[in-house]
A and B are shown apart, each in its own frame.
Chain A
Amino acid sequence: MAPRWKGKAAEAKALAEPMSKIVSRLQSSLIESNSQGLLSGCTVLLAADPEQTELFNHACFGRPVITSEKDKQWFQLSLEEALYLCSVMKCIKIVGENTCVKDEEQLWHYMASKRAGFPILFKAYSHLRMKNWVVRAGSQYGVDFVAYRHHPALVHSEYAVLVLSDEDGDRSARLRVWSDFHCTLRLCGSVAKTLLVLHVSKNGNGAIPPSSLDHYRVEERIVTRWNPEQSRENQTIVQKELCKSGT
């Protein structure tokens, strides 16, 4: 399935402003302002100045929180987004109660305790973000994430992403029976997304701490239905065209 841009202008705009540039501008700006996020439940709250607000919006991190405060805009980040900005982009600090900065190990344990399967979800999130894909929550489509080629205002999401792991008992319950596949593929088809399954597994090396992304590896597979009726028609068309061009 080809990317579905929301018009020609949108594609040109995306081309002119690559996502990697937007994210690295956000990164510099957050480092410069020494930004701190407040860990609260399954959310990290972070205040942004007007420039950062625009960058957060363009890079698609977090959701704006509507407040009456004039001088700053609050954003609420998901656990994956916050940890990504903190431990991969190294551009924010995260504090808990008592405004005490939490180190990565503490954050990792906290988040893993808050959300089932967090380590592999975070690996999957980082994996796609590091390739400059925009990753948003997938609950609207019954999946873990949706992945966009650029800002959702410019392009429809291409992939509905499910994250699977061989080891983790809870997570591996996904796509275990055929009806799960039928259900997911039927839904993905109706919203014109391709099902992308990310298999996250542990690397053999025991020396790497579990909180390190290097501890895991990701395999990407797309799952599609094949329709023999349609493929046969396509085949006929292709052959006819070959015949035509041959004569």
Chain B
Amino acid sequence: MEAEADALESLSFGEGTHGCDSDSECCVEDSVDDELFYASGDIIPKLQFRKEASKVRWIEELGMAEVLEKKGKMWTTTGIVRDGKTYCSIEETLYLGEVGALDILNGDDTPFLLSDIYGKLAEDKNRHGCSWESFEVYRHLKFLGYIVGRCGVPWSMKSVKMKMDAREGMEEFDSSRGRGSMDNSFITEMFGNLHFGETRPVFDVYPPNSKFRKSCPGAPSFVLCLTSGHPPSRQEIEDLETRCGGSPLKFCIVEHGRVSFLSFTKVELPILA
């Protein structure tokens, strides 16, 4: 449970602030109002900041940050590996930035501030493939120790190679792609997954696992789809199921910072005696 502990140690968040409905399904409690405090003093929970921060450089052209110095255990479950380098998506960068685990630099070595990243999320969703809502979902799951990656984006090219080997026998894998150079192709691939204004798959979610390896991540336990303003229609659910190749799907709704997760599972009720 190291990864999980790692995710949690740095945080002393009141879960209510960012929580989804933690109330038990079996008894309805009026817990929503209880979370709100009307008191002076520590109204907003404080983070316990990390002593040592890793260092990354934001690369505007990629819309990602390149990792320069790694501190802490979170790197086993954060960032994608290409050409021996680790790159963080905007949500990873912002998440670690928020908890104080990251020093972020601009190309010219000036500090890249949280406000800059908040600005990037707001300015153009398409550009970075992440909206404020998907960031909130990412953060919610990360706080709980889940391992979260971009939907369909391999953690490392080694994992792709292994997958292809497994699928097609020991077929020769194109060496230039096998090296996984940091060109635009994988970013295009990433954005190819995105369709805004509708329910779309956003993250591959893995359960908390201290033995997680980017080179061999295994299948995610589910693909998380972020819904837009309205619930997905039956047709939309079916299309997503087809697109995600049979991976289990979950749907999340973000309303006023409150994250809910639903699953719509196709069943066949048994024919009883």
Determine the chain A residues whose CB is within 8 A of the CB of B268 once the complex forms: 220
Known contacts A132-B272, A227-B20, A235-B207: A220-B266 contact under CB 8 Å: yes
State the CA gap A189–B270 with chains docked (Å). 22
Determine the chain B residues whose CB is within 8 A of the CB of A186 once the complex forms: 28
Is B263 close to A, CB under 8 A?
yes
> What total of chain B residues lie within 8 Å of the partner, measured CB to CB?
43
State the CA gap A196–B4 with chains docked (Å). 34
> B231 contacts A181, CB within 8 Å?
yes
Per-residue A-contact encoding for B221-232, CB less than 8 Å = 1, 0 else:
000000100110
Known contacts A182-B260, A219-B266, A227-B20: A20-B145 contact under CB 8 Å: no
- Which of B145, B146, B267 is A222 in contact with, Cβ under 8 Å? B267
> B272 contacts A131, CB within 8 Å?
yes
> B270 contacts A131, CB within 8 Å?
yes
State the CA gap A236–B268 with chains docked (Å). 30
Determine the chain A residues whose CB is within 8 A of the CB of B267 once the complex forms: 196, 220-222
> A228 contacts B262, CB within 8 Å?
no
Determine the chain B residues whose CB is within 8 A of the CB of A140 once the complex forms: none
When C-beta atoms are compared, the residue in chain A nearest to B235 turns out to be A166
Is B208 close to A, CB under 8 A?
yes
Is B269 close to A, CB under 8 A?
yes
> A190 contacts B230, CB within 8 Å?
no
> B263 contacts A18, CB within 8 Å?
no
> What total of chain A residues lie within 8 Å of the partner, measured CB to CB?
45
State the CA gap A227–B15 with chains docked (Å). 13
Determine the chain A residues whose CB is within 8 A of the CB of B265 once the complex forms: 221-224
Per-residue B-contact encoding for A167-197, CB less than 8 Å = 1, 0 else:
0000000011110111001100110100011
Determine the chain B residues whose CB is within 8 A of the CB of A219 once the complex forms: 234, 266
State the CA gap A150–B250 with chains docked (Å). 31
State the CA gap A178–B261 with chains docked (Å). 11
When C-beta atoms are compared, the residue in chain B nearest to A21 turns out to be B273
Determine the chain B residues whose CB is within 8 A of the CB of A197 once the complex forms: 264
> A131 contacts B271, CB within 8 Å?
yes
Known contacts A192-B26, A221-B266: A132-B231 contact under CB 8 Å: no
Least Cβ–Cβ distance between B270 and chain A, in angstroms? 7
Determine the chain A residues whose CB is within 8 A of the CB of B262 once the complex forms: 181, 185, 223-226
Is A128 close to B, CB under 8 A?
yes
Least Cβ–Cβ distance between B15 and chain A, in angstroms? 7
Determine the chain B residues whose CB is within 8 A of the CB of A15 once the complex forms: 273
When C-beta atoms are compared, the residue in chain A nearest to B273 turns out to be A18
Is A229 close to B, CB under 8 A?
yes
When C-beta atoms are compared, the residue in chain B nearest to A189 turns out to be B25
Is B39 close to A, CB under 8 A?
no
Is B253 close to A, CB under 8 A?
yes
Least Cβ–Cβ distance between B17 and chain A, in angstroms? 14
Determine the chain B residues whose CB is within 8 A of the CB of A131 once the complex forms: 269-272
Known contacts A186-B28, A219-B234: A229-B263 contact under CB 8 Å: no
Restricting to B16-47, which residues have a CB under 8 Å from any CB of A? 19-22, 25-28
Least Cβ–Cβ distance between A190 and chain B, in angstroms? 5
State the CA gap A226–B261 with chains docked (Å). 5
Known contacts A181-B262, A190-B26, A221-B264: A228-B141 contact under CB 8 Å: yes
Least Cβ–Cβ distance between A233 and chain B, in angstroms? 10
> A235 contacts B208, CB within 8 Å?
yes
Per-residue A-contact encoding for B38-60, CB less than 8 Å = 1, 0 else:
00000000000000000000000
- A-B pairs with the 7 shortest C-beta distances? A189-B25, A18-B273, A132-B272, A226-B261, A131-B271, A235-B207, A190-B28
Residue pairs across A and B with Cβ atoms less than 8 A apart, 14 shown, are A164-B234, A178-B227, A190-B27, A192-B26, A196-B267, A221-B264, A221-B265, A223-B262, A223-B264, A224-B262, A225-B21, A228-B141, A229-B19, A235-B208
